[in-house]
Structure 1
Amino acid sequence: MTTPLAVPLSSQLAVNVLDASSLLTAFGVLGVGVVMFAETGLLIGFFLPGDSLLFTAGLLCTGGRGPGHGAHLTLGPLLVAAAVGAVAGAQCGYLLGRRAGGALLARSRSARLAEGAKRAEEFLARYGHAKAIVLARFVPVVRTVLNPLAGALGVPVRTFTLWQVAGGLVWSLGLTLAGYALGSSIPNVDRYLLPLVGVIVVVSLVPVALEVLRSRRAADAN
């Protein structure tokens, strides 16, 4: 005989942490806050789908539902969870880097994290503290690595806090509201959810591709 807890438990165990719709169905608004915190504050969260999660969550606030899923969210609590998770996560990452120095990154064996750290250092050197901290929010992996790196490199607390809050709010609220606006303007937009999420993922990778191309051109020039 099946108990009432059997279905929810199996659903949670089957959650795919790389799939935005799956995360939203399993954990709702709370999951958005946790993912934002983990991706921006903990190095282990570098693989999480931050951009697509925010956009999809905003879209689902309009009544859209992912294919095969029943997720539906409310915009107000979602915006709060996204903003708090993004801001608190970045500040936590900075404090960890400030206390542990470069040891956190040095111990990692992930080639992707190492590449992210290299790009984060280039961001800081090329754009300066303020602009780099804001721009990093929009680059996957870099937004994970730059926060502890800024702490390790001794970026002033006041400078980091001011600009990470500004960047975090623009990134988290901007993508969420973009999804909400699109869902509100296009009838039955949930039918196109998977292609839309695919576009968001591709767009989020454009800054990475541009930085790689720039680095290669610079290396060839030397």
Structure 2
Amino acid sequence: MIHHAALIPWLDPNVIIHSAGPWALLVVCGIIFAETGLLVGFLLPGDTLLVISGLLTHTSFVFGLDIWWVGLAIAVGAFLGGEVGYLIGHKFGPSVFERKETGLFSMENVRRTNKFFERFGALAVILARFVPIVRTFAPVAAGVGHMNYKKYSLYNAIGALIWGAGLTYFGFVLGYIPPVADFVQKYIDLILLGAVVVTLVPTLYHYIQSTRKARKAAIARGAEAALPTDAEVALDPSVFQRKPSEL
């Protein structure tokens, strides 16, 4: 095993392994859950986090678990997030989307997600996993549109496995490339710091930009602008019944 003097002591891999261990994996799973289960999750860069998680598992065993368990845990987190998102949409209906725009919510994201479903039908549940923002709103949109729950759960499980475990394993495989593995082992502390920056900076930037756009839109429409109607936010159930040949 390669040992090095960490440039940033509290980011030393040994410190992380002994102090965080499996808890670090729970944090990752929590972030993935939030991105796919809560409407504010679109601020989180899930794709990057998954690849980095797999890469770190290969080079430093940072989670204290085998890659198969890491990938499975992340896939479960993604699946549960999708289930919660669906149940929220199913229980509260269109009212989930019928609110004023803020930095954490935009009707444009809802319309974009609905168009995604109109284009791909039920397959959108799987494909949306690979599209930032859409993967956050898709579970809720499916619930609001009352997509068949068993069908949704099946597609949700497939998508969570392909995306959650798949990208994690992809990152793990990258560790087999000698230059990549050597670089990660040598600069693990800077990589972890970079991961934090990559996570926080886009999040703050997106939030600020969304807030500004929401304010401008509110001013343009007027303070008393009408909220979106059910017809504008709820998908027609027939959308989920479309076959690939009909798309």
Tell me the TM-score normalized by structure 2: 0.61
For 1:31 and 1:108, the matched residues in 2 are separated by: 31
Secondary structure of the residue aligned to 2:130 is: coil
| Contact 1:113-1:145 within 8 A present in 2 as well | no
For 1:31 and 1:94, the matched residues in 2 are separated by: 22
Post-superposition offset of 1:72: 4.9
Partner residue, 1:30: 26
Secondary structure of the residue aligned to 2:131 is: coil
Post-superposition offset of 1:125: 0.7
Partner residue, 2:235: none
Q: Deviations over 1:95-141 (max 9, x none)?
A: 11000012222235246642221111011111111x21111000111
Partner residue, 1:134: 126
Of structures 1 and 2, the one with the larger relative CO (CA 8 A, separation 6+) is 2
Secondary structure of the residue aligned to 2:166 is: helix
Q: Deviations over 1:155-189 (max 9, x none)?
A: 11122111111111100011000000001223314
For residue 98 of structure 2, the aligned residue among 89, 98, 106 is 106
Partner residue, 2:48: 52
Unmatched runs of 5 consecutive residues or more in structure 2: 1-9, 11-19, 199-247
| Contact 1:58-1:176 within 8 A present in 2 as well | yes
Post-superposition offset of 1:45: 1.6
For residue 80 of structure 1, the aligned residue among 72, 76, 83 is 72
| Contact 1:60-1:73 within 8 A present in 2 as well | no
Cα distance change of structure 1 residues 185 and 108 upon mapping to structure 2, 3 Å threshold: farther
| Contact 2:126-2:156 within 8 A present in 1 as well | yes
The question of 1:121 aligning with 2:114 is answered yes
RMSD (Å) for aligned C-alpha atoms: 2.8
Given residue 127 of structure 1, which amino acid in structure 2 is its aligned partner? F
For 2:32 and 2:100, the matched residues in 1 are separated by: 21
Larger mean Cα displacement after TM superposition, 56-65 or 78-87: 56-65
For 2:130 and 2:100, the matched residues in 1 are separated by: 23
Post-superposition offset of 1:64: 4.5
Cα distance change of structure 1 residues 33 and 128 upon mapping to structure 2, 3 Å threshold: same
Given residue 143 of structure 2, which amino acid in structure 1 is its aligned partner? G
Partner residue, 1:168: 160
Given residue 44 of structure 1, which amino acid in structure 2 is its aligned partner? V
Larger mean Cα displacement after TM superposition, 90-99 or 42-51: 42-51
The question of 1:155 aligning with 2:151 is answered no
Unmatched runs of 5 consecutive residues or more in structure 1: 1-10, 12-23, 66-70, 199-222
| Contact 1:41-1:147 within 8 A present in 2 as well | yes
Cα distance change of structure 1 residues 120 and 73 upon mapping to structure 2, 3 Å threshold: farther
Cα distance change of structure 1 residues 180 and 152 upon mapping to structure 2, 3 Å threshold: same
For residue 84 of structure 2, the aligned residue among 84, 92, 114 is 92
For 1:39 and 1:27, the matched residues in 2 are separated by: 19
For 1:41 and 1:92, the matched residues in 2 are separated by: 5
Identical residues among aligned pairs (%): 36
Given residue 167 of structure 1, which amino acid in structure 2 is its aligned partner? G
